[in-house]
Amino acid sequence: MNTRRDFLRKMGASALMLQLGSITSFSSAANQIGKPYEGRVLRVAIMGLGGYGTRVAEAMKACTKAKLVGVISGTPSKIKAWQARYNIPEKNCYNYDNFDLVKNNPDIDAIYVITPNALHHNQVIRVAKAGKHAICEKPMALNAREGQEMIDACKNANVKLLVGYRMHFEPRTLEVLRMRNVGDFGKVMFFQAQCGFKAGDPSQWRLNKALAGGGSMMDIGIYAINGARYMVGEEPVWVTAQETKTDPLKFKDGVDETIQFQLGFPSGAIASCLSSYNISHLDRFYLSGEKGFAEMQPSTGYGPIRGRTHKGELNQPITTHQTVQMDEMATIIFDDHRPAIPVNGEEGLKDLKIIDAIYQAAETGLKVKVKG
Ligand code: NDP
């Protein structure tokens, strides 16, 4: 007999939380109301068992449509610990030298690449060649050329490429987009994003150009870029950018400490953004239209996301971002579900083209056109 506990387990914490609130029409979770999930489960191996990989693994415990079943790691002791913690069989454990063998493993559907930025390009291409779907952390790659190569590799292998844009499934963010789409803000004129924190340990890979591909822009500034695109609802056509460096010992050549940048959109709307590794407590979005506004702070942290519009507080359900993301990604992979804001490789590439343009603008001082 089904007990209430069985029911809760089957529904998963995130899905249940979404059902209890006034979920937006954007989420496929709305389709599940009242029905335990009986569809296909996405069996995922995580590559790179670091800080964020651990967060994703913990969040996946509450997934209903995705399950952690494997690991790929350069650290044998972590593999052992994860096997014990997540009940992962030996046959689903790989290292960076042998993970191409996953092509012979029918029990893994997708690999989630959560390693330092510079490794994503090669690792995703190997995942594609092994015939597995690739989920890749942001930034998808170091530049647009690499991003395009990853898209091509996944297309050639007939596998999907998704980017870990967890905010694309966040209910309060989606509510602002719903309001914009129905005209509540009127014509959008201006967006502002402040994204930053103080980077600690100077020896971490994030401050190593060879592994990070840059500095704050690659890590946290990308949230401002991505946010500008989904909040304004257009693709920018030009950028200008200015870099400030106060600590060249910590933030070496090619590792940006702070960049201010501006984006221009076809409608005439503009965005003014700040990306920093040396300013604390920057996590704020502001969208201004002719008839109203939306303000979110925190806007992209792990949550809860908080915000208000000219109509009042945003009060959509609070979710664990990575739980919802992985459940939604299962439906994108298996059912071709189209989320309100895409998370495919092309979406990742758009951000990379803008990053390329921002670095060029910061270096030259010129207004740079974003490549279409
Ligand atoms: P960590 O340093 O915490 O973990 C990275 C892991 O990658 C390491 O633990 C290691 O795992 C593996 N790795 C493989 N090669 C190297 C290498 N040469 N140097 C260091 N680590 C290596 O980083 P994060 O988890 O914070 O970040 C990983 C990725 O996730 C980045 O691309 C980052 O931008 C993204 N990220 C996304 C977030 C989001 O909210 N979407 C939040 C935080 C990060 P092992 O020992 O198992 O091999």
201 and 272 both lie in a single domain: yes
56 shares its domain with 123: yes
Which among 166, 191, 217 is the end of a domain? Answer: 166
My answer on whether 161 and 171 are in the same domain is no
CATH number, domain containing residue 223: 3.30.360.10
Give the pLDDT of residue 35.
Answer: 78
Bridge partners (DSSP) listed for residue 238: 264, 369
Residue 95 located in a structural domain: yes
Q: Are residues 129 and 219 in the same domain?
A: no
- Specify the residue for token string 């056109």: 369
Mean pLDDT of 106-134: 99
Which of 52, 83, 113, 169 for a ligand 1 pocket mutation test, highest count of atoms within 8 Å of Cβ? 52
Per residue in 229-288, pLDDT (tens digit) is 999 999 999 999 999 999 999 999 999 999 999 999 999 999 999 999 999 999 999 999
Q: Which residues contact 51 (CB under 8 A, 6 or more apart)?
A: none
140 in any annotated domain = yes
Give the CA count within 13 Å in the CB-facing half-sphere of 105: 26
CB of residue 53 inside a 6 A radius of ligand 1: yes
State the closest ligand 1 atom to the C-alpha of 321, by its place in the atom list counted from 1. Answer: 40
- Across the range 296-315, mean pLDDT stands at 98
Q: Strand, helix or coil at 343?
A: coil
Same structural domain, 120 and 182? no
- Give the domain extent around 242: 167-317+345-369
Binning pLDDT at 50, 70 and 90, where does residue 33 land?
A: low
The minimum-distance atom of ligand 1 relative to the CA of 300 is: 40
Check if the beta carbon of residue 71 is closer than 8 Å to that of residue 88. Answer: yes
d(CA 198, ligand 1 centre) in Å: 18
Centre of ligand 1 to C-alpha 120, Å, is 10
Question: Measured between alpha carbons, how far is residue 11 from residues 18, 38, 314 in Å?
Answer: 11, 10, 25
CA distances from 55 to 75, 294, 302 (A): 18, 29, 10
User: Residues 247, 257: contact at Cβ < 8 Å?
Assistant: yes
Kindly state whether residues 224 and 101 are assigned to the same domain.
no
Amino acid at 83: Q
| Domain assignment present for 330 | no
187 shares its domain with 158:
no
Domain ends where: 144, 166, 188?
A: 166
Is there a single domain that holds both residue 140 and residue 171?
A: no
Q: pTM (2 decimals)?
A: 0.93
Domains contained in the chain, number: 2
Same domain, 211 and 279: yes
pLDDT average, residue stretch 293-301: 98
Assigned token pair, 105 = 């493993």
CA of 232 from ligand 1 middle (Å) equals: 30
Predicted confidence band at 16 (pLDDT cuts at 50, 70, 90)? very low
Q: Are residues 227 and 350 in the same domain?
A: yes
Query: Using a 6 Å cutoff on CB, does residue 14 contact ligand 1?
Result: no
